[in-house]
Amino acid sequence: MALPQPVPLYPTYQELKHLSLNDYPQMCAEIEGFDEWQRVHWNWGKDYLLYIGRNKSEHTYTRFRNEIERFLLWAILIKNQAIDIYRKSDILDYADFCWHPPVQWIATQNHDRFIFENGYFKSNEAWRPFKLQAAKSAVDKKVDKKRYRPSQQTLTSTFTAIISFFNYLMGEELVLGNPAQIAKKDCKHFITESQIKEPKRLTEDQWQYVLDTATTMADENPLFERNLFIIAATKVLFLRISELSERPNWSPEMGHFWQDSDHNWWLRIFGKGRKIRDVTVPLAFLHYLKRYRTSRGLTALPDSGENTVLVEKIRGQGGMTARHLRRLVQQVFDQAFERMSQSVSPAQARKLKEATTHWLRHTGASMEVERGRALKDLSEDLGHASMATTDTVYVQTENKKRAESGKTRRVD
């Protein structure tokens, strides 16, 4: 028996806020074809996601939208049972489904949920609830969908979203309990890990190739000054790429660089969890700020309250999306990989094929730990809620001692 074809249920937060189903004729037809309880569940999901969108970041909305949409599709199309009567066993059934989903529900690349066509949003037939993507470094990009398994982090995110969803429904007095909270403890797919976890980062040599490559590109063509600035900012100021991007509730500006009464430079950032923090700006970074501003015809350093866009589009007006910023970083990674492969070896350059923009934040923070910077200061620049997070992610002192002592073990 063929499985029902999954369809997208919810657009972006900005579109959901002002949703008119008349603009989504296919999605509207799907919802109208639902049973009454299924339409009610769709509305529960919509109300919950609007609540998340109002109170969390755009990134959090997207993450929770993915999970709740997938959960409701399973409840409606596969389980065919209202979630307000779910028990622990039903949630465990869903965890089994997520652990080994049908290949028809898996895509091998990102697809937009909806395509704007002839004045309407058309459901994208290529979209799927699950994604299995080849590693960036893989030569053969073909992937076997049957090999899909969620990571422990993905499984945790799934339970986090569903638990939050049920808590919301309980608060609205729509369900009596939270079976997901109980089920998480008994989910057989969770693995207790005691392995060493190192942040994904570049070595000092790899970072130097990235910086030198970006500098050379900018020296040869001023258009690449933007790439160099982004590379330097994400590594030296420990920024997430989203923190440089244009967002509905925040537009990064040059005036967010500011000096205190002691002439120290800072950068004001709107970060994760809708929190604003001030990041210390080292004197060495000012060189890259001046380069970028001069290439745009601006004064060397920003004035207080200057509302010039921090990272501007070459064509059009305004700031850039996180996706576009990642592409600019990837241009540098690709060039740096080629240069390092030819100068040193492909093996030592391999990480540059795997690297993402977030590796630059990890690289900068890890190097600061190795330099001996105070953990409290670093934690505040990173925007971590506590020093414990910084310690867990970046401090590997005891593991290094353990590795050194292990090297002397004998075979005979």
Give yes or no: residues 113 and 232 share one domain. Answer: no
Q: Among 84-93, 136-145, 186-195, 292-301, whose mean pLDDT is lowest?
A: 136-145
Q: Is the pLDDT of residue 182 over 90?
A: yes
Q: Is the pLDDT of residue 140 over 60?
A: no
For residue 347, what are the β-bridge partners? Answer: none
Cβ burial of 408 (10 Å; 0-12, 13-18, 19+) is exposed
Residue range 160-172: mean pLDDT, rounded:
96
Q: What is the structure's pLDDT at 403?
A: 64
Residue range 47-59: mean pLDDT, rounded:
90
Residue at a domain's end among 159, 186, 213: 186
For residue 265, what are the β-bridge partners? Answer: 259, 281
Helix (H) or strand (E) holding 18: none
> How confident is the model over 94-133, as pLDDT tens digits?
999 999 999 999 998 889 999 999 899 999 999 999 998 7
Q: What is the structure's pLDDT at 224?
A: 96
Give yes or no: residues 254 and 373 share one domain. Answer: yes
> Quick one: pLDDT band at residue 35, thresholds 50, 70, 90?
very high
Do 295 and 225 form a contact (C-beta atoms < 8 A)?
yes
Give yes or no: residues 45 and 169 share one domain. Answer: yes
Residue at a domain's end among 158, 186, 214: 186
343 belongs to a structural domain: yes
1 belongs to a structural domain: no
Of 388 and 33, more confident: 33
Output the domain CATH number for residue 355: 1.10.443.10
Q: Is the pLDDT of residue 15 over 80?
A: yes
Q: Is the pLDDT of residue 401 over 60?
A: no
Give yes or no: residues 263 and 395 share one domain. Answer: yes
Q: Who contacts 214 (Cβ-Cβ below 8 Å, separation ≥6)?
A: 224, 227, 228, 231, 232, 332, 336
> SS3 for 219-253, per residue?
HHCHHHHHHHHHHHHHHHCCCCHHHHCCECCECCE
241-262 in b/e burial notation, b at 16+ Cβ within 10 A? bbbbbbbeebebbbebbbeeee
What integer best gives the mean pLDDT of the chain?
89
For the chain, the domain total comes to 2
Q: What is the structure's pLDDT at 319?
A: 84
Residue at a domain's end among 186, 214, 237: 186
8 belongs to a structural domain: no
Q: How far, in Å, CA of 37 to CA of 261, rounded?
A: 62
Give yes or no: residues 166 and 231 share one domain. Answer: no
Give yes or no: residues 151 and 222 share one domain. Answer: no
Q: What is the structure's pLDDT at 48?
A: 97
> Quick one: pLDDT band at residue 185, thresholds 50, 70, 90?
very high
What does the block give as tokens for 397? 């002192």
Q: What is the structure's pLDDT at 191?
A: 84
92 belongs to a structural domain: yes
102 belongs to a structural domain: yes
Of 247 and 295, more confident: 295
> For the whole prediction, is pTM greater than 0.85?
no
Give yes or no: residues 43 and 69 share one domain. Answer: yes
Q: Among 225-229, 234-238, 269-273, whose mean pLDDT is lowest?
A: 269-273
Q: What is the structure's pLDDT at 194?
A: 52
Q: Among 103-117, 159-173, 306-320, 340-354, whose mean pLDDT is lowest?
A: 306-320
135 belongs to a structural domain: yes
> Quick one: pLDDT band at residue 196, thresholds 50, 70, 90?
low
162 belongs to a structural domain: yes
Domain that holds residue 116: 13-186
Give yes or no: residues 276 and 385 share one domain. Answer: yes
Give yes or no: residues 394 and 281 share one domain. Answer: yes
> How confident is the model over 323-361, as pLDDT tens digits?
899 999 999 999 999 999 999 999 999 999 989 999 999
Give yes or no: residues 295 and 226 share one domain. Answer: yes
Kindly report the CA angle at 143 between 141 and 149, in degrees rounded to 5? 130
Give yes or no: residues 60 and 208 share one domain. Answer: no
Residues of the chain with pLDDT > 90: what percent? 70
Q: What is the structure's pLDDT at 193?
A: 61
195 belongs to a structural domain: no
> Quick one: pLDDT band at residue 58, thresholds 50, 70, 90?
confident
Q: Is the pLDDT of residue 412 over 80?
A: no
Q: How far, in Å, CA of 133 to CA of 141, rounded?
A: 8
Do 90 and 84 form a contact (C-beta atoms < 8 A)?
no
Give yes or no: residues 140 and 232 share one domain. Answer: no
